[in-house]
């Protein structure tokens, strides 16, 4: 199966429809027998498939003996498919929006898992767009998630949301991408876990050293977190080897986001500002 056929199937074509359309694009206007040979679709099925493609408005025909078929130009095909998809997507949104609101209003779960870097970025964007008062976002260098949210962060600043974006740079870590967005991102280095003194802590408590050491160890690995309005948080565990396996944990447990923010800020206070 060639790549074009596979991609057409992702766009809603059946395997036979994709094979016939793909064949028509390179053999040009042809009769059913030639299309069957070129596509590998059985002659007994090719007429049915051609009729389906005509109904999809992606194949034209000229009656005769034999009837000749031709595929629409690829740019016309993608335009038709895009318009059809958008119309369907908008209709689905209208039909399901009210149902979703009714079904989720009284069933707000406290923790959700999001998988895949792109899905995580969408979730982060959603959080930032809906921020009313404050955004705290932290990421271990390089700041790939933060830089992908450039427009959302700047938009939040413009509408009066208090934004604090911090990127943690490990000791001796090469600055492979420089210090992007340094106008809104604060770059910090932190001590390795266990390397700070208790006297460096303000208002020390017995559990502080253990908790802060754990946070500092976490910040020595790929990691990101965002806390919005001190009520919602998203913790990200990136998977550098396979970004589709990166995990995000959306948290709305009462008081937990603000505690996470507070502890992260205390850990950062032990570090040194780079810029």
**Where do the structural domains in the chain lie, given as residue ranges?**
3-75, 108-273
- What mean pLDDT value characterizes the chain? 85
Structure confidence at residue 222 as a pLDDT band (50, 70, 90): confident
Residues 63-83: pLDDT tens digits? 988 999 999 998 899 888 898
Q: Is the pLDDT of residue 49 over 70?
A: yes
Model pLDDT, residue 182: 83
pLDDT at residue 204, as a whole number: 54
In the predicted structure, residue 201 carries a pLDDT above the cut 60 = no
| Calpha distance 172→216 (Å, rounded) | 16
> Residue 274: pLDDT above 90?
no
pLDDT value at residue 105? 59
Task: Name, in order, each residue with C-beta under 8 angstroms of 264's C-beta and a sequence gap of 6 or more.
Answer: 136, 138, 215, 225
Beta strands in 129-270 (DSSP E): 134-140, 162-169, 185-189, 224-228, 232-237, 247-251
The CATH homologous superfamily of the domain defined by 108-273:
Endonuclease Chain A (3.30.870.10)
CATH assignment, 3-75: 1.10.10.10
Model-level pTM greater than 0.85?
no
Domain pair 3-75 / 108-273, same fold: no
């Amino acid at each position: 199966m060639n790549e074009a056929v596979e991609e057409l199937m992702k766009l809603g074509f059946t395997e036979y429809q994709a094979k016939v359309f793909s064949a028509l694009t390179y053999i040009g206007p042809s009769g059913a027998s030639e299309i069957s040979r070129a596509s590998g679709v059985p002659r007994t099925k090719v007429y049915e498939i051609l009729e389906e493609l005509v109904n999809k408005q992606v194949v034209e025909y000229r009656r005769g003996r034999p009837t000749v078929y031709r595929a629409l130009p690829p740019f016309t095909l993608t335009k038709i498919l895009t318009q059809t998809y958008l119309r369907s997507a908008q209709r689905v949104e209208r039909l399901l929006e009210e149902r979703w609101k009714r079904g989720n209003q009284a069933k707000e779960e406290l923790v959700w898992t999001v998988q895949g870097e792109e899905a995580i970025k969408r979730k982060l964007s959603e959080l930032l767009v809906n921020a009313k008062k404050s955004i705290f976002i932290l990421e271990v260098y390089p700041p790939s998630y933060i830089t992908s949210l450039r427009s959302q962060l700047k938009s939040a600043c413009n509408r009066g949301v208090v934004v604090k974006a911090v990127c943690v740079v490990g000791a001796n870590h090469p600055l492979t991408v420089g210090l992007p967005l340094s106008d809104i991102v604060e770059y910090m280095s932190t001590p390795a876990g266990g390397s700070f003194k208790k006297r460096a802590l303000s208002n020390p408590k017995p559990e502080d050293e253990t908790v802060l050491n754990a946070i500092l160890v976490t910040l020595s690995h790929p990691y990101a977190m965002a806390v919005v309005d001190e009520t919602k948080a998203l913790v990200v565990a990136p998977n550098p080897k396979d970004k589709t396996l990166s995990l995000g944990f959306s948290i709305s447990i009462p008081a937990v986001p603000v505690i996470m923010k507070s502890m992260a800020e205390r850990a950062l206070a032990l570090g040194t500002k780079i810029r």
